[in-house]
Amino acid sequence: MVVIAFEGKSDAEFLNSLFDEYNLPRNEVIYYEFKGKDNIFNTSHKYYNEIEQDTNKIDKMLIIVDADNENDPNPNRGFDASEQKLKEVIDILEFNIPIDYQIMCGNNKEGHLESFLLSVLDDEQQECINKFKECYKYELTDKWAYNTFYKQKKYPFNYEHPNFKDLKEKLKNLFN
């Protein structure tokens, strides 16, 4: 068995679609939805205690968080801060299993799962969204753009896009 820890419900839905797309054994995965990035960074969270008790049954673990925006006042936001905090969490946990991580973001190393998903759209679709954001008088987030224009299509994405490469390798590595 392998463990994948992540922030929220949309992550599970996305991961299920990836497991199906890449023909990975979903039945060998235990998901832990931590309900927020700060909970993932809390090494005394009850889920980590559960995982630690079961490490004799678990082969590997993958932690997935959003990069968020480094301008957020929370010190653990932004790609670099998130990466540093994930490394600290992994060191503190001291589980006797390999633990890897994935930080979800757009090409600018900011954002969320939705930013990542928008980053794999073709150039024409990305240009359309960017133009809409520019002319709209209110600031629109990637989450808003994704949920408005793409969510209803249930991941109309090219799963072989180069931006999927690292995540695909990490998911496949869970079973090697």
Over the chain, what is the mean pLDDT?
A: 90
In Å, how far from its chain's centre is CA 133? Answer: 24
Give 147 or 172, the one with higher predicted confidence.
172
Residue of 30, 35, 37 whose CA lies nearest to 15: 30
For residue 42, the tally of other CB atoms under 10 A from its CB is: 14
pLDDT tens per residue across span 83-138: 999 999 999 999 999 999 999 999 999 999 988 988 988 888 888 888 888 888 77
Name every residue whose Cβ is closer than 8 Å to that of residue 173 and which is 6 or more positions away in sequence: 60, 100
pTM of the model: 0.90
User: What DSSP state is assigned to residue 166?
Assistant: H
Q: Return the pLDDT at 126.
A: 84
In Å, how far from its chain's centre is CA 164? Answer: 11
Residue of 23, 5, 1, 29 whose CA lies nearest to 90: 5
Q: Return the pLDDT at 153.
A: 62
Give 100 or 17, the one with higher predicted confidence.
100
Q: Return the pLDDT at 154.
A: 56
- Decide: helix, strand or coil at residue 26: helix
| Domain boundary assignment for the chain | 2-173
Q: Return the pLDDT at 75.
A: 86
User: What DSSP state is assigned to residue 154?
Assistant: S
